[in-house]
Structure 1
């Protein structure tokens, strides 16, 4: 099979196409022929040597894909060779074939194309598991998402809006703010010259905050929380060590959760995928939530896709096709 490998830690130029042996599905696994995969911020960190795959996972980059079932491992039921599917991965997406635990395989939502579906698994599972399963966002609550024009942000805005939350989104340019508003954000905040804390305090604070910045925003996020607010940290773009004022958090009866989807046990991921199929796919099927795709490039241009991610100029997802 063709696969993209990082020959050493570094910039996009370290990504090369290699010929590797085809993987084989073991018990409880499915072999997929990959049609498309998506580029995530975690892929960039892995390329740089900062985010190694979990033990036992493929060392090939790629956390999601779409394609067709090529073979079934022992004990797998409910799928047939030739089924069009998408999948949440712990690694291996930048390749012609990938092995997936059967519980992390999902049908493609009605109305979504095979290639387009590669933009869904990681963002859908990340947003649903953190914002709804963990933080319990409810209709009428105030929800703040940082980086609203990115892959996670564009999906989070749509699903929170569709389920009745009041949505606030930060972004760094007029064009990205306009996209956030188009997708359903009630209030957009330019983080370059506006203070999201002041905006939220005027409205009694955010009930749920989804944060990809980590240390840089920790103190301000706590300030922006409402009473009994929930802060969920899923990234470290702004650093790994921050100061947490426990007194302020206690005063709000607030909570801070730091979570990672990739390292969870396969059983946990299977439950999340099942919940996504039940609760999120109907919203995608009826057009309330759509994948936002910035560019579709061939696998051979994986380095260029990473340069786009590094630049921060993209909106939504970048896909690689095979």
Structure 2
């Protein structure tokens, strides 16, 4: 196919609130060695996008300065050395940036086929959450069938994905959320117990159940010490964000006495090889669950590409449940 020279995109005019997102026109990028160019149909909206917009999460070197870390569409062109893909293939992909645009580049081995029967709108919401959940809950946290798993923010994109994958793989899932309605969503997805953190103490609930073997936390702050109390012996706390701040005063003696593990990661700065390995694991372990309908993105809302600022206001509110997407094509 003949590629256009220019494309619509959303750029960040400067650090600030959602109003700094503005529509622009840019050259269509060309794929280099090992890269594919995706004609974007849908782009996922994630909290790291909002952090980048605010000036708190810089893109890696050589990555597009445009926001957008995931999306789905059709391959428009393949760079030198790419195998296994061809123009016209439908893909969903983890992006180093640049997803808020009509065309985006990524490594060929960071893309995955769209599962059969899954609309592109939903497929666009798989990469960021699935890469994050798999690498942290299963690769770093080592969650196994039969273990107790607690995910904070259970109604978020990460939370709804973590509940479904963990439950499908045989874990006992607990989740926190901020309303009775959100708790019902968590339980409908496979959590055996959803905890309204405004009314209940998750430490007490998990303690009564025997403690959590793995906790996935994006809150931080005073949750860190509480998470340690909620862990079972040999438990693992995996930190992926600090919405309440990264600082806490801790007594580290329980780590030795109870053989606890504290770990965590961010996805975007990891190497291309590390992301390719996560993609391969997802294709083998999670994509069959998606194809079988056991794991599906929970969709909150959609916005046109030009309404990216409204999408950011939505994700920064406490109201959304699941994933938010931008409609790029059509």
TM-score bracket for this pair, using the shorter chain length: over 0.9
1:180 match = 186
Residues 136, 264 of structure 2: 8 Å contact kept: no
CA RMSD of aligned residues (A): 0.8
Identify which of 234, 246, 251 aligns with 1:245: 251
Residue 124 (structure 1) aligned with residue 119 (structure 2) = no
Residues 39, 73 of structure 2: 8 Å contact kept: yes
Per-residue CA distance 1:147-184 (angstroms, 9 max, x = gap): 00000000100111111111000000111001001111
Identify which of 280, 283, 288 aligns with 2:289: 283
- The Cα shift of 1:290 comes to 0.8
2:326 match = 320
- The Cα shift of 1:55 comes to 1.3
1:150 match = 156
Alignment of 1:197-216 (within 5 A): 197-216=203-222
Identify which of 6, 17, 22 aligns with 1:16: 22
Matched length: 322
- Counterparts of 1:189 and 1:29 in 2: how far apart (Å)? 43
1:36 match = 42
Q: Which runs of 4+ in 1 moved over 6 A?
A: none
Normalised by the length of structure 1, the TM-score is 0.99
Residue 260 (structure 1) aligned with residue 302 (structure 2) = no
- The Cα shift of 1:311 comes to 1.1
Identify which of 61, 64, 68 aligns with 1:58: 64
- The Cα shift of 1:215 comes to 2.7
- Counterparts of 1:244 and 1:104 in 2: how far apart (Å)? 38
SS class of match (1:20): strand
Alignment of 1:18-167 (within 5 A): 18-167=24-173
Residue 234 (structure 1) aligned with residue 233 (structure 2) = no
Residue 309 (structure 1) aligned with residue 278 (structure 2) = no
Per-residue CA distance 1:98-131 (angstroms, 9 max, x = gap): 1111110110112211122101011111111111
Residue 221 (structure 1) aligned with residue 238 (structure 2) = no
- Counterparts of 1:182 and 1:142 in 2: how far apart (Å)? 18
- Counterparts of 1:23 and 1:222 in 2: how far apart (Å)? 46
Per-residue CA distance 1:84-107 (angstroms, 9 max, x = gap): 001011211101111111110110
- Counterparts of 1:118 and 1:299 in 2: how far apart (Å)? 14
- Counterparts of 2:122 and 2:189 in 1: how far apart (Å)? 18
SS class of match (2:181): helix
Per-residue CA distance 1:256-309 (angstroms, 9 max, x = gap): 002011110000000000100110010011011111010111101111111111
- The Cα shift of 1:190 comes to 0.7
- The Cα shift of 1:216 comes to 2.9
2:3 match = none
Give 5+ residue unaligned stretches, structure 1: none
- Counterparts of 1:292 and 1:203 in 2: how far apart (Å)? 27
- Counterparts of 1:54 and 1:207 in 2: how far apart (Å)? 33
Question: Which has the higher mean CA deviation after the structures are superposed, 135-144 or 215-224?
Answer: 215-224
Give 5+ residue unaligned stretches, structure 2: 1-6
SS class of match (2:222): helix
- The Cα shift of 1:243 comes to 2.1
Normalised by the length of structure 2, the TM-score is 0.96
Residues 40, 102 of structure 2: 8 Å contact kept: yes
- The Cα shift of 1:244 comes to 2.7
- Counterparts of 2:84 and 2:249 in 1: how far apart (Å)? 48
Residues 155, 322 of structure 2: 8 Å contact kept: yes
- Counterparts of 1:216 and 1:106 in 2: how far apart (Å)? 38
